[in-house]
A and B are shown apart, each in its own frame.
Chain A
Amino acid sequence: MSRRQATRAVGVVILPLLVAAGGCRRTSPTPPGDAMLDAIRAEERVGGLSYGAGQGKHLFAQYCATCHGDEGRGDGQNASNLNPAPPDLTTSKNARDAAYLRRVITQGSAAAGRSALSPPWGRSLSAQQIDYLMAYCAAMTQSKR
């Protein structure tokens, strides 16, 4: 067997092997998972909140929940000190009116002709934060519809 024939024979053997190896590589059983992302989603997608609503939830807990309650039902720890008592945001019709809600959050309940007990947050919170709060309030009322 000449040298040339030997090279050819080796080529004939190796080429299909390479092709087969390439093929195997492509048919891996399951696509690799994103461990970190899965961990975050498992935590944050509880309740099906969007990113913005999730941020709003944190803000709500900090600024609103002492009176409005953790879930907006008007049962915060300070609610009993208030007259009139805070409304249940999950059922309130006004809370579903975005323009009304934005006015109350930024300018306070007095600006909507109600009591002065819910203060204006328009100067303390950024427009971004208020958008987040609105998103969370919308999610809260939607879940009740």
Chain B
Amino acid sequence: MKQTAPTSLHVAFAALGLAFLAIFSWVLFHEGVADWRTTQARFRRIEATVKNPHQLAAAASVGGLRQIWLPELDRVDRCGTCHLGIDDPSFAGAPQPFSSHPGTWLTTHPIDRFGCTPCHDGQGQATDYLNAAHQPQPFVTRPMRPLETIEANCGACHRAIDAPDAPRLDEGRALIVQSGCFSCHDIPGFDGLTFHGPALDSLGSKVRPEWLPGWLKNPKGYLERSKMGNFRLSNDEITVLQAFLLSQRAIPPLEGMTVDWKKADTANGRALFGELRCVSCHAVNGRGGTMGPELTRIGDKVRRDWLFSFLKDPHRVQPETAMLQYRLTDVQLRDLTAFLLEEYRSGDTGPEPPPVTYQDARAVMAGRGIFERRGCTSCHRLGAMKNTGRIGPSLAGIGDRNPDELAFGRGNVRRTADNYIFLKVLHPDALLQTSMMPTFDFAPIEAARIALALASIRKADLPVSYVRNRPMPPPFTPAGHFGELVTRYRCLSCHSVGGFGGTLSTVPLDRIGSQLKHDYISKYLLNPGAVRVSVEARMPFFHMLPDEATTIADYMTSVLLDDTLDRYDATFSEADVQRGQDLYTQLGCVGCHQLGTVGGYVGPVLSDVGDRLRPGWIAAWLANPERYKPGTLQPDYGLSAADARALTAYLSSLVDGGRPKSAEQGGRQ
């Protein structure tokens, strides 16, 4: 018997079939008129105007989807489907999306290895303008970055703190280092770096009691460039915290001092202040270095006895300070102290107040509680108090934080990780009223730079072959007498060895013994002059003992060496010297260097360069200055070996005020 299906099923099948046909033809039609097809047709028309027939014949035919597959990065980028001229310089001025990529970025980052979205973000798999998220889109976490913030993506791979080709990122990271954000937060990429506020063991003997509450209320009110944030403490909190802090007198000022303050000679103190080059590190009235605290109102803050003791031996009370220990007599110390306290204060500070003795143990204990709770120990050492570690949350993966999980407060702000970090850095309590994070009063642009640097800290770990890690220099801790001197004079606050140390000086000490002559080093240490006239931060006048200078020069010229420089054959002929002198004129060296009384003051004075520099170093430096000092103002002239040798011969002959040595001798003969 023949079975027939019910009519309703026939109808359903027919409808389904029709619907399928309709969808199928719609898809075909949609594909046929897809954006990228019309774009490619437009490209072919433009290509015909940009290229001549020969080039056209040679050019690869454009048709179909183009994609770059980056399995290591787990990305498929189809941007090339429309951006057809991206790696072809002949499309430099073409309209978008056909314009070639500006700059040399594709040379350093080949497109088949880096694709597009690792740097630009956006939806790489999309093939039309809207879905590629050229502009922010709902539900797209990472739309294309505008150029202003694109450097956040540079930082995902380039993890050295200096990023000279990404200036905004570079600035942001420098701000993080200066502000010591990593004292309270674990920040990947900044591990191993330390940041210290002063030790507080003897705060009670250091500061004038009336100064402290104002400082705790608003540090920027005393020091505009204070590194300490504003903890938004209530007056009650300040009162107890003050009680706790002023009761800290573990290290009294040096005892047995018999300083006759009445005899203090502030004029001598002023002369010393200039001579010691204090302003290389400390600013006064807005000018000077930033390594140490500004001294403009130091008279409002510290006690006289404490300042005297600190200047006499800074490391006794502040073992971690960058400040060196000058070799000064008590009379000099007295005059300097008196000058500082009298000159740099906001008004008559009156007589030294007696030390405060707190009877109220409860207030002290309450202050201690606040000290611990607000994480003061993250930056400040205080006797036996345990370092509670980093009080703030870890910032690992912060650039990938899901905006929906972040507290944005009520502002009408696009919810992105970038904006969250930015607002948090700018006003921590605006987003979350109970935030423990202090306010640092960053300018909006500073907050934006810091946020950009933090946004580069991503969750996913990139393949090793893509990552340029931060070099971690091994510490330089020389032993013996030299080691003691390095500690005492804090050489490594400004200079570095093997990348370890400070960056204030532009002269790393790695090969200093092969650069400078022994006698010059020891003479210079005893009386450091200005080799570079226009540089403001100069080496301090240590008042070093002659045998200390000799010890340092001995060590440098026997340990801190570079054999390749020392092997240089330094026997020059008269012809070399003469040819070098001609080159000196031809190359225009006089524009930047002074010789005798003639020349510019951009580079070092060359009048006694033959006494100062060793020939091997001169030759190596002239041949490739960028190698030894990236970003130097010494141009690379691309000198031939013979020319570099001739110039070295001439410069080595310059001693004693810029007269060539050999020419003088020749004259006498």
Contacts and interface: CB of A to CB of B under 8 A. Distances in A.
B4 interface: no
B600 A62 contact: no
Contacts of A115: 588
A116 B587 CA distance: 6
Contacts, number: 126
B586 interface: yes
Contacts of A30: 412
Interface residues of A, number: 41
B638 A123 contact: yes
Interface of B: 102-105, 107-108, 136, 146-149, 165, 167-168, 411-416, 418-419, 421-423, 444-445, 447-448, 451-452, 534, 585-588, 590-592, 599-602, 625-626, 631-633, 635-638
A117 interface: yes
Contacts of A15: none
Given A36-B448, A119-B635, A128-B165, A81 B601 contact: yes
Contacts of A109: 588
Interface in A68-125: 77-78, 81-82, 108-110, 115-121, 123-124
Given A39-B444, A40-B148, A34 B419 contact: yes
A131 B103 contact: yes
Contacts of B444: 39, 42-43
Contacts of A119: 587-588, 591-592, 635, 637
Given A36-B448, A62-B631, A124-B636, A82 B591 contact: yes
Contacts of A126: 104, 165
A13 to B, nearest CB: 29
A81 B599 contact: yes
Given A52-B102, A78-B601, A121 B413 contact: no
Contact of A124 (B103, B415, B423, B635): B635
A122 B657 CA distance: 33
Given A124-B635, A128-B165, A66 B602 contact: yes
Contacts of B636: 120, 123-124
A72 to B, nearest CB: 17
B148 A41 contact: yes
Contacts of A43: 444-445, 448
B448 A39 contact: yes
B422 A120 contact: no
Nearest to A79: B600
Contacts of B590: 117
Nearest to A32: B414
Contact of B447 (A39, A51, A66, A128): A39
A127 B418 contact: no
Contact of B625 (A34, A52, A124): A124
Contacts of B447: 36, 39
A82 B600 contact: yes
B602 A110 contact: no
A43 B108 CA distance: 29
A30 to B, nearest CB: 6
A110 B587 CA distance: 8
